[in-house]
Amino acid sequence: MNTTRRVLAAACSAMCALSAAAAAAATGAAAPAQRFGVRDLVELERLADVTVAPDGERVAYTVRSTDLAADKGRTALWMIDTARRRAEPTRLTDPELGANSPAWSADGRFLYFLARSGGSSQVWRVQPGAAPTAVTHLPLDVGSFRLSPDGDRLVVSVEVFVDCPTLECTLSRLAAAKAATGHGVKYDTLFVRHWDTWSDGRRSQLYALTLGADGTAGGEPVRLTAGIDGDVPGKPFGGRDDYAISPDGREVAFSVRALRTGEPWSTNFDVYTVPIGGGQPRNLTADNPAADLAPAYSPDGRSLAYLAADRPGFESDRQHLVLLDRATGGKRALTARWDRSVDAFAWSRDGRTIYATADHLGQKPLWAIDAGSGHVTALTGAGHVESFAPGKNRLFFTVANLGAPADLYAVGFAGGRAQRLTRLNEALLSTRTLGSYEQFDFAGWHGETVYGYVVKPADFAAGRRYPVALMIHGGPQGSMANEWHYRWNAQVLAGAGYGVVMIDFHGSTGYGQAFTDSISGDWGGKPLADLKAGLAAALARNPWLDGGRACALGGSYGGFMVNWIAGVWPEPFRCLVSHDGIFDQRSMYYSTEELWFPEWENGGPEYANPAGYARFNPIDHVAEWRTPMLVIHGQLDFRVPYEQGLAVFTALQRRGVPSELLYFPQENHWVLKPSDSIQWYDTAIAWLDRWTRTN
C-alpha cells in the first residue's frame, strides 16, 4: 500500500466516523432496532453552499429540509460564529423563502442570497438578527449573482433574447408568444431541448446593476455579455463559478461557449473579460480549442486562475489549473504534472495557496496547491468533500461518506485533525442502524489494480448469508466513491438487508487520466471485465455474500451496462434494474442533445463511424435476454430519451422475460421529487426481494 493510500485509508477522526448506531453495532453495544430506510433518506437535512464572512470566523451555509406535503425541498440560510466557544448554529431565513446561494458583503454586515418570492427569483439580503429584504426587482428571474468587492455593484445573470435591448423587451416577447393562437415553435439550430427543458430561444446573459445607499439596485442594467451568443452561466448546470469580479471592482471575467451553430458538439468554452461598466468582451483563451472554465482572480488582482482541458470534444478530460498574468497575458499551467482532475477551487486570502477538490482513489479530499510551485498536499482524508471556503486561520468544509451525510467541519491550513461544527442529522441517525463499509482492491482488466467498496447489511450477523446488490455507477467517467449519494444510496439497500458491492471500473475518475480515458470506445470491454473480477473478489473476501442471490442495478451508463449485461453476462444475476439506460447506440445519437458525448465515446458521428456505435450495442443481443428486469425512466430525460427505456421494456415483454416499467412523467435523468424517490426505492427493493428472497 503506497503512502497516499495509507493516509486516506487511515482512521479519519470525527469527519469519517460511522453514525452513532453503526458505531454501536461495531463495538457490540446494543444497536437500535430500526434499520435505515428511504423515508429516512428523504427526511435528512442537506448542508451546502459554505461561505465565510470577511472576519474569517462567521460561516454561513444553506440547509435543505424536505416538505413531504408539498413534495419538494425547502432551503434556509444558517450561520455559526466559530470565534465563540460552543457556538450553536442560528437560522437567518425562513424555509418558506427558499434562500440559496449566500454571499457575504465586503464589510461583513449583510448576507446576500437568491430567493423566489411572489413567483420571481431575485437577490435579497439579510443582516443577522433582522428581517430579509429584497435587493433587486427585475422584471425577469435572476439566475445567479456576484457582489462587487466595494459593494456598489451587483452582477446578475438573466435569461433574455439576445436581440432585445432591454429586459422589458424580453418580457413582452414572452407574453406575446404565450398569447399567440398557434402553439408551434420553430427552430433553426440544435439544442432545441437540453437536459429537461425545451428552448424558448433565450440566453443567460450577465448584467451589472448599481446598488444605492439603501442597498437596493437601481438604474438601467448594463449588459456585460453584449454580442456574446452563448449562455453565462453555461446550461444546464452552470452557476456563479462561471464568472468573477476583479478585486478592484473594475472588471468581470466569465467563461462561455459562444457558438450559435455547432454548440451541441463542442466543448470549447473560453474565458473573456469585460469592464464592469460595459464594453466589448475580450477573449483570453482563444488559443485553446478545448474547455476553459471557472475564472477566479487572485486576491491581489495580478493573476486570473481558471480550469483548462486539453482535448476538444472530451467533457471528462483532465481539468488542470492555469494561472494567467493579467499584466503580460502569460499563462502558466500550475497543475500540469498532477494526474488528477480539479473539480472546484478557491484562492487563499493571502494568494499563496489555491485550495481545491479532486477525486482520488475512491475519495474526494480537500487539497492545498502552492500557487508558486504547484506542489499539492492533501488536507483531509477519507470521505467526499462537497463544499468549502477559506477562513481566517482555517478552512471550512462539508464532508460526507458512505456512512453519513454531510456536516460542517474546520481544519487548519496545513491539514490535521478536523473539528466538527454541526450535527444536522444526529438525532435521526442515532436511532437507526447503518451498515459498515470497507474499500478493497483487486486485479481487474489485464491485471491492473481496481478499487471497490462493500457495504454490509444493516442487520448483519455472523454466520448468516445475504443477497447481493451490485450497484453500477453512471458517467461513465464517474465513481462509486466514499460518498453519501441521495439517488443511489447504498445504505438504503443495506437497510433492506442487502450486501452492496460497488466497483470503480476502468473509466472511473480519481485514478489517473489514463484510467479514465480507457473506457472511451470500449464501453462493454474493460468495464465488464472489472465488474466480473470485482464481484468475484468481493464474494471471495466476504463469505457472508450469497453470490447465488445477486442482482445488478445501475443508472445512465450504469443502465447501459445493465442492458449490456442482460445479453452478454446474465449468469450470476437473478434480476436486473436498468434506470435511464441506453438501449440502441444508433438511435440514441440522433435523439440526445449533447452530441459531443457520443461522438467522443464512439469515435465520431454515427453516420461517419457506424461501426463504433455497433461495437457495444445492447439492442443487438436481445435474443439472449432472459433475466428478469425492472426498467425505470423519466419523461423529461432528454439526455437519454425515454424511448430508450420504453424500447428496453418492449424487448423484454416481447421476449417473454419477466419485467416491469416504472415511468416518471415529471422526472428528468435524475429522480428528484421526494415522493418519486420513495417510490423509486420501494419499487426497486421490492423487485430485488421478489427474485432474491427465495432459493
pLDDT tens by residue, 61-96: 999 999 999 999 999 999 999 999 888 999 999 999
Pairing of strands 499-504, 320-325: unpaired
CB distance 75 to 100 below 8 Å: yes
d(CA 115, CA 102): 10
The predicted pLDDT at position 248 comes to: 97
Give the integer Cα–Cα distance in Å for 460 and 454.
Answer: 13
Residue 586: Cβ-neighbour burial (10 angstroms; 0-12, 13-18, 19+): middle
Interval 256-270: pLDDT, tens: 999 988 999 999 999
pLDDT of residue 124: 98
Residue 194 backbone phi and psi in degrees, to 5? -150, 125
**Residue 478 to residues 60, 241, 503, 509, Cα–Cα distance (Å):** 30, 21, 11, 5
pLDDT for 10: 36
How big is the CA angle at 349 (ends 347 and 352), to the nearest 5 degrees?
Answer: 65
End-to-end CA separation in angstroms for the chain: 39
Q: List pLDDT tens digits, range 304-339.
A: 999 999 999 999 999 999 999 999 999 999 999 999
Cα–Cα distance for residue pair 25/178, rounded to 1 Å: 59
Answer for the pair 204, 232: CB distance below 8 angstroms, yes or no. Answer: yes
Query: What average pLDDT does the segment 95-115 reach?
Result: 97
**Sheet containing 437-443: order of strands:** 437-443, 449-455, 499-504, 466-472, 545-555, 573-579, 629-634, 659-664
Q: 491-530, pLDDT tens digit by residue?
A: 999 999 999 999 999 999 999 999 999 999 999 999 999 9
Closest CA to 575 of 694, 693, 687: 687
Enumerate the H helices of 135-166 as residue ranges: none
Distance CA 317, CA 111 (A): 36
> What's 364's DSSP letter?
B
Cβ burial 285-309 (10 Å sphere, 16+ → b, else e): beebbbbbbbbbbbeebebbbbbbb
Please tell me the predicted confidence (pLDDT) of residue 17.
39
At 499, which amino acid appears?
G
Q: How far apart are CA 657 and CA 639, in angstroms?
A: 27
Asked if 519 and 473 count as a contact pair (C-beta separation under 8 A), the reply is no
Cell 442597498 found at: 215
CA nearest 316: which of 444, 474, 449, 448? 474
As a whole number of angstroms, the distance between CA 320 and CA 292 comes to 10
Instruction: Report CA Rg, the chain.
Output: 25
Pairwise CA distance, residues 331 & 325, whole Å: 6
Task: Calculate mean pLDDT across residues 238-251.
Answer: 97
The model's pLDDT over 438-486, given as tens digits with 9 standing for 90+, comes to 999 999 999 999 999 999 999 999 999 999 999 999 999 999 999 999 9
Nearest Cα neighbor of 574 from 486, 688, 665, 460 is: 688
Whether 21 shows a pLDDT value over 90: the answer reads no
Q: What's phi and psi for 413, nearest 5 deg?
A: -65, -20
Q: Are 242 and 214 in contact (CB under 8 A)?
A: no
> Helix, strand, coil proportions of the chain in percent (round to 5)?
20, 35, 45
Beta bridge partners of 160: 203
| CA distance linking residue 56 with residue 394, whole number of Å | 8
Q: What share of the chain has pLDDT > 70, as a percent?
A: 95
**Looking at residues 575-580, what average pLDDT do you find?**
98
**Average pLDDT over the chain, rounded to an integer:** 94
Q: How confident is the model at residue 11 (pLDDT cuts 50, 70, 90)?
A: very low
Residue 15: pLDDT over 90: no
The model's confidence at residue 33, banded by pLDDT at 50, 70 and 90, is low
Question: Of 295, 302, 289, whose CA–CA distance to 262 is shortest?
Answer: 289
Helix/strand/coil (H/E/C) assignment for every residue in 25-65: HHHCCCCCCCECCHHHHHHCCEEEEEEECCCCCEEEEEEEE
Residue 118 banded pLDDT, cuts 50, 70, 90 = confident
For the question of whether the overall pTM of this predicted structure is more than 0.85, the answer is yes
SS3 354: strand
C-alpha span between 319 and 361 (Å, rounded): 17
Q: What is the mean pLDDT of residues 550-578?
A: 98
What span, in angstroms and rounded, lies between the C-alpha atoms of 123 and 129?
Answer: 19
**How far apart, in whole angstroms, are the C-alpha atoms of residue 404 and residue 400?**
6
pLDDT above 80 (res 28):
no
Spatial distance between the Cα atoms of 501 and 484, rounded to a whole number of angstroms: 15
Cα of 386 vs its chain's centroid, Å: 9
DSSP class of residue 407 equals: E
Range among 12-26, 27-41, 536-550 with highest mean pLDDT value? 536-550
Rounded distance between C-alpha atoms, residue 3 and residue 360, angstroms: 13
Q: Residues with Cβ < 8 Å from 460, sequence gap 6 or more?
A: 25, 435, 436, 466, 544
Pair 290, 308: CB distance under 8 Å? yes
Reported as a single tens digit per residue, the pLDDT across 358-384 is: 999 999 999 999 999 999 999 999 999
Query: Which class for 50: exposed (0-12), middle (13-18), buried (19 or more C-beta within 10 A)?
Result: buried
Rounded average pLDDT over 329-354: 98
pLDDT for the residue 22: 44
- Is the CB of residue 309 less than 8 Å from the CB of residue 267? yes
Q: Is 226 helix (H, G, I), strand (E, B) or coil?
A: coil
The mean per-residue pLDDT over the stretch 611-618 comes to 98
Q: Interhelix angle for 557-568 vs 526-541, to 10°?
A: 80
